[in-house]
Structure 1
């Protein structure tokens, strides 16, 4: 079975969606599928077949307008049995859906939270116009792939009578790093008993890192926050200014984008993971933190929050500074609770978010879509 995954961009700085797309295709290939990616701005030396094309510099970057990619899709989609789209409001998804539809090739559409109420509220007029005009016919022929049940409920409002499937993402195993607690603190000149709060995500207003910083500023106990991620330089400057104005000084470290051994070290060496995001269709960084044994603090907007709460893997906190201050105070004061929540999170990942099992579910869906009946 030949399956083409169409991803707007594979730049590592894009975070979870990029990581998930690569891991998903690798898992499908491990199951014997001839799965490949067509995209823009892919890094070199990926472990899977990727066809990457440049983005036009004369259009909105988030739309990822790539004429050469469109030409390639026109010529090559007919060679595939099935197409799997990643993301809405992207040139690649719109073009690939139209071509697949014209050639009667079935396609799944992973919406990446783009059809949720909070997401559509930003740029409401043009997003609704785009969906009702440019992508109207494409939506009417898609099978939708959501990664959480709350996301699926949003998508059903746009799907009409089309199928909406809920299949979560997986998590790659986090390498062991038995000395990470020591080496991470040594790297930043911290006492060995200083609790570390980790924010590992894009620095974007949607992620609401200001809530975390202001909540931490209200604590009387020792702590250090590692802010691992990239973002718009102007927004990063605002966060640095906020940190300085609240007198947080050297207790907040802005690490930039981390990957490889550096990412393993912050995951294995921190004490608490925090993501006060307004909305996450899944929350891959949250799942990675649980895989590393960290207790997680999230908002109800993180769509796997119900699973976290049921498993006792973390705390689900309303997105207010005071609520987050209290939750952080509670966890930082109780290492036994942190350990218990972290162990529960690891169990949740092992039972629910394994790429092999998720690939098996997708292969079953692919075969059903290709079945003559």
Structure 2
């Protein structure tokens, strides 16, 4: 089985979700699952310097195979688009997902309200590849209150559809299942 994990960043500066993705892929590979990560070269430190990794190719990172793609820059302002926390836009990642997603049996999206995960979910739907989504507490009331207006708009335009059309939403607790349901998600949940 081939599993692709998509997350906006695996930088150590991004904390828990990055660690979860790396450790999960390590453990899946130990069980014989062909698991890989696709992500950006965001370094997560707040600087404009990218993570020091090769881009547009698969490389070994912390013991797992990772496809890194460069963040896209704005031609008008010479600033990176979507550096707002986890959004992290990458045109190269989009193109690669479009061309390669069918070579995986399932897609596992880590992180909500991010370009990488939303784009991967949409491409998976268009190309009939099943996908799961990990909410990781991002639908808890306190989390939704952070940048509330942006998240409401994003949920209306993309995120709720991505969640509802997932093969399953992975939750880590009964409370997280409640948060998923309160957000209006009807897809099956796994705990």
TM-score normalized by the length of structure 2: 0.81
Question: Deviations for 1:327-372, whole angstroms, at most 9, x for unmatched residues?
Answer: xxxxxxxxxxxxxxxxxxxxxxxxxxxxxxxxxxxxxxxxxxxxxx
Instruction: Answer yes or no: is 1:158 the counterpart of 2:180.
Output: no
Question: Deviations for 1:161-213, whole angstroms, at most 9, x for unmatched residues?
Answer: 211112xxxxxxxxxxxxxxxxxxxxxxxxxxxxxxxxxxxxxxxxxxxxxxx
- Greater percentage in helix: 1
Query: Which residue is equivalent to 2:81?
Result: 59
Instruction: Answer yes or no: is 1:110 the counterpart of 2:131.
Output: no
Alignment size in residue pairs: 166
Q: Distance in 1 between matches of 2:160 and 2:185?
A: 11
Instruction: Answer yes or no: is 1:141 the counterpart of 2:157.
Output: no
Give how far 1:97 is off.
0.2
Give how far 1:43 is off.
5.7
Instruction: Answer yes or no: is 1:33 the counterpart of 2:49.
Output: no
Question: Counterparts in 2 of 1:172-183, with a 5 A limit?
Answer: none
Please tell me whether the aligned partners of residues 156 and 164 of structure 1 are also in contact (alpha carbons under 8 angstroms). Answer: no
1:161 match: secondary structure: coil
Q: Distance in 2 between matches of 1:148 and 1:155?
A: 11
Closer, same or farther: CA 159–5 of 1 in aligned 2, 3 Å: farther
Question: Deviations for 1:295-325, whole angstroms, at most 9, x for unmatched residues?
Answer: xxxxxxxxxxxxxxxxxxxxxxxxxxxxxxx
TM-score normalized by the length of structure 1: 0.43
Q: Distance in 2 between matches of 1:158 and 1:88?
A: 13
Give how far 1:107 is off.
0.6
Query: Which residue is equivalent to 2:144?
Result: 120
- Greater percentage in strand: 2
Unaligned runs of 5+ in 1: 167-373
Instruction: Answer yes or no: is 1:101 the counterpart of 2:108.
Output: no
Structure with bigger RCO (C-alpha 8 Å, 6+ apart)? 2
Moved more, 127-136 or 65-74: 127-136
Closer, same or farther: CA 154–93 of 1 in aligned 2, 3 Å: same
Q: Distance in 1 between matches of 2:137 and 2:25?
A: 20
Give how far 1:159 is off.
4.8
Unaligned runs of 5+ in 2: 42-50, 54-59, 73-78
Whose Rg is larger? 1
Query: Which residue is equivalent to 1:13?
Result: 13
Instruction: Answer yes or no: is 1:76 the counterpart of 2:92.
Output: no
Closer, same or farther: CA 154–37 of 1 in aligned 2, 3 Å: same
